[in-house]
Amino acid sequence: MRLSLWRRAPSGSSSTRQKRVSYALAALLMLTVASAATPAIATAARLTYIAAAASTSATPQVVLARANGAGPRSLGPASTAVLSPDGVYVAAVGPGRGSPAPGSSLVLYSVGAKKPMRTLRISAAQLTILGWAPDDGWIAVTDGNSLVAVPLHGKARALTTGTIAGASFAPRPPDRLVFAQATTLNAGAPVNLYSVSMAGGAPKQLTHDGLSEYPLWGPHGIVYSHEQSAPTATLQLWQLGPGARARAITDVTLSAPWTGLEPVALSADGRHLLANLVGTNDSQAWCIDLSTNPVSEHALGAAGTVTIGNAISRDGREVLITEGSGTLAGDDFSKSTVTVEPWNGGLALTVAQHGAFASWDR
């Protein structure tokens, strides 16, 4: 899963680049969609989510549970958390040291073994998790304005410094990371894709149009958001395939408040793509079938609700989303839910109430 980090204003906008309303920066009103005829989920699989604080003086907690929501267990305070690809670890961003705690810390929980929490990195700035390497060897984070690869053991590697607009590991070894970097924080600043090997070496520039961001590395190439200026500035999805050839995937007609699509996750075979249609204080989980020509698309969630796509199952049959109604604001998750939705729509399973921004290993 690739975590979106920045909400980039399209060219011509008077807004500056702002932090995205994804993964721990938003609260959604609750919608419960449950029935006896709910999706069948293997209980061996696991999920994490951020649970609402118990009181105004408390902090949100990262919760570990089975993928059907059973057996929830609080691990500790966190603003973001991501389960490792094999479900062995949970990486979380928690408070820094001190009272009150300045900055933030990257901590590691072992899911099965009874091992104490380990602190992997402490920063005076805000840490944000961007994703896991497929072999659990590295965690990509932003540390202030730096992109850093943090290993489970050993020394962290600083990859670049600047405005980072998303990053994603290749789905198979060797460990490589694709990231988007803008020249400045200002709206309309050029932003391009780069790749770098965890084995060493300098980043390699992949795009040169200044309009490429939010990359997601899949089995058949890199899907990313590409800014188009006609007739209005919008973000459409493109794919960078073998030979560095880029092609458009979507051509969605948008109107206010929507500004475009950002990719979130791909099924293991690369056929089903989960994205988010984003806008001003709004989001809609968006499903794209890449096996058809042209691609087929549909939204998930009940009419009138706000949905944020969090993850997709490896077989592409189920989607994990945060769902609610109203606008996104703050970090109060008390009125939001985490649900599992069938890819083709239909009855959903609520796996967590008063929670948001989930990850899983199924």
Share of the chain above pLDDT 90, in %: 67
Look at residue 1 and tell me whether its pLDDT is greater than 50.
Answer: no
- Percent of the residues in the chain that have a pLDDT greater than 70, as a whole number: 83
Q: Residue 233's pLDDT is what? A: 73
More confident residue, 31 or 283: 283
Taking a C-beta distance cutoff of 8 angstroms, is the pair 322, 28 a contact? yes
pLDDT at 327: 54
Lowest-pLDDT range of 34-38, 289-293, 300-304: 34-38
Give per-residue pLDDT as tens, 11-29: 333 333 333 333 323 322 2
Q: What's the pLDDT score for residue 352?
A: 95
- pLDDT tens digits, one per residue of 51-76: 988 777 678 999 999 999 999 999 99
Q: Name the pLDDT band for 276 (thresholds 50, 70, 90).
A: very high
- What's the CA gap between 39 and 20, in Å, rounded? 30
At 257 the pLDDT is: 85
Residue at 95: amino acid letter: P
Per-residue model confidence (pLDDT) at position 345? 86
Contact 349, 68 (CB under 8 A): yes
Query: What mean pLDDT comes out for the span 275-288?
Result: 92
| CB of 358 closer than 8 Å to CB of 338 | yes
State pLDDT tens for residues 226-239.
Answer: 998 766 779 999 99
* Cβ atoms of residues 169 and 177 within 8 Å: yes
Q: Residue 121 corresponds to which amino acid? A: R
CA dihedral sign of residues 29, 34, 40, 42: positive
Instruction: Pick 97 or 194 by higher pLDDT.
Output: 194
Q: What is the DSSP string of 228-282?
A: E-SSS-EEEEEEE-GGG-EEE-------TTEEEEEEEEE-TTS-EEEEEEEETTE
The pLDDT score that the predictor gives to residue 68 is 94
User: Which pair of tokens denotes residue 304?
Assistant: 């009138």
pLDDT bucket at 255, cuts 50 / 70 / 90: confident
Residue 249 has pLDDT above 60, yes or no: yes
Q: What is the b/e burial string over 260-285, where b = at least 16 CB atoms within 10 angstroms of the residue's CB?
A: bbbbbbbbeebbbbbbbbbbeebbbb
Lowest mean pLDDT across 31-35, 79-83, 190-194, 216-220 = 31-35
Mean pLDDT, rounded, for 298-311: 86
Average pLDDT over residues 28-50: 50
The predicted structure's pLDDT at residue 231: 65
Q: Which residue has the higher pLDDT, 216 or 36?
A: 216
Q: Residue 280 pLDDT more than 70? A: yes
Query: In order of start, what are the domains of the chain with their CATH numbers?
Result: 6-360 (2.120.10.30)
Chain mean pLDDT for the chain: 84
At residue 163, does pLDDT exceed 80? yes
C-alpha pair distances (Å), 68 with each of 38, 177, 280, 333, 343? 10, 31, 32, 19, 16
How far is residue 359's CA from residue 362's CA, in Å, rounded to a whole number?
Answer: 9
Answer whether 322's CB lies under 8 Å from 358's CB.
Answer: yes
Distance CA 288, CA 281 (A): 22
Q: How many CB atoms lie within 10 A of CB 166?
A: 29
pLDDT, residue 230, reads 62
Of the two residues 294 and 1, the one the predictor is more confident about is: 294
pTM, two decimals, is 0.87
Instruction: Please give the pLDDT value at position 334.
Output: 76
pLDDT score at 12: 38
Q: How far, rounded to the nearest angstrom, does the alpha carbon of residue 141 sit from its chain's CA centroid?
A: 12
How far apart, in whole angstroms, are the C-alpha atoms of residue 60 and residue 142? 21
Does the pLDDT at position 313 exceed 60? yes
CA distance 349 to 343: 13
- Cβ atoms 128, 80 nearer than 8 A: yes
Q: How far is CA 343 from CA 210, 313, 316, 317, in A?
A: 33, 10, 7, 5
